[in-house]
């Protein structure tokens, strides 16, 4: 049997996205507390994500959202990673407040945000090992957060995944 890569490319991207999700899950977490949420967005939900990015652009005027929304059309999958908001009780002051008790509820615990960053790094290292194209997008993560794709998770970031002859997520032109 001969399998043509062009015919199984989406399957290969999904395999990579699943491995990226596993890497994000097993990444170290602050105080060993696992409050990171991970999802894989595909098909019509990528279109929904792109549409929300366009709506955010209309509200905010942040035009890079249009370019990024268009960019998602090149993705076969989008990994989304976010976190619940839980104060870790370390009184570390990384959030800008001397103690956890002083921190307002609207201000995220810095440890939660760091956990998302470490999970992103782990996921992207797997993507590199598997030779798929990615780019970390705060814009698509914001849209996923607004759509509640990970429930009530905050600090959601997105990583579109593709496997083409040229990474579609770099050398991008601004969209008007």
Q: What is the pLDDT of residue 170?
A: 83
Cα(40)–Cα(33) distance, integer angstroms: 22
In CATH, 8-162 is 3.40.109.10: yes
Q: Which two tokens stand for residue 133?
A: 């194209």
Cα Dmax for the chain: 65
Cα(129)–Cα(81) distance, integer angstroms: 19
* 41-68 pLDDT per residue, tens: 999 999 999 999 999 999 999 999 999 9
Q: Is the pLDDT of residue 175 over 80?
A: no
Q: Is the pLDDT of residue 166 over 90?
A: no
Q: Is the pLDDT of residue 95 over 80?
A: yes
Q: Is the pLDDT of residue 7 over 70?
A: yes
What pTM was computed for the model?
0.93
pLDDT exceeding 70 applies to what percent of the chain? 98
Cα(80)–Cα(136) distance, integer angstroms: 10
Residues 6 or more apart whose Cβ sits within 8 Å of residue 130: 15, 16, 19
Q: What is the pLDDT of residue 176?
A: 63
**Which stretches within 87-171 are classed as H helix?**
110-129, 138-146
Instruction: Say if CB 152 and CB 37 are below 8 A apart.
Output: no
Q: Where are the domains of the chain?
A: 8-162
Q: How confident is the model at residue 31 (pLDDT cuts 50, 70, 90)?
A: confident
CB atoms within 10 A of CB 12: 15
């Amino acid at each position: 049997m001969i399998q043509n890569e062009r015919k199984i490319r989406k399957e290969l991207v999904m395999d990579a996205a699943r491995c990226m999700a596993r890497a994000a899950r097993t990444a170290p977490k602050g105080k060993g507390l696992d409050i990171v949420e991970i999802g894989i967005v595909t098909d019509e939900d990528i279109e929904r994500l792109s549409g929300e990015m366009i709506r955010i652009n209309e509200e905010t005027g942040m035009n890079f959202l249009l370019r990024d929304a268009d960019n998602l059309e090149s993705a076969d999958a989008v990994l989304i990673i976010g976190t619940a908001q839980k104060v870790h009780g370390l009184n570390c002051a990384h959030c800008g407040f001397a103690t956890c008790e002083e921190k307002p509820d609207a201000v995220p615990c810095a440890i939660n945000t760091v956990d998302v960053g470490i999970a992103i790094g782990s996921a992207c290292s797997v993507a590199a090992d598997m030779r798929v194209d990615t780019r970390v997008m705060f814009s698509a993560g914001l849209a996923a957060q607004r759509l509640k794709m990970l429930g009530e998770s905050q600090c959601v970031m997105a990583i579109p995944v593709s496997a083409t002859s040229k990474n579609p997520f770099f050398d991008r032109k601004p969209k008007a």
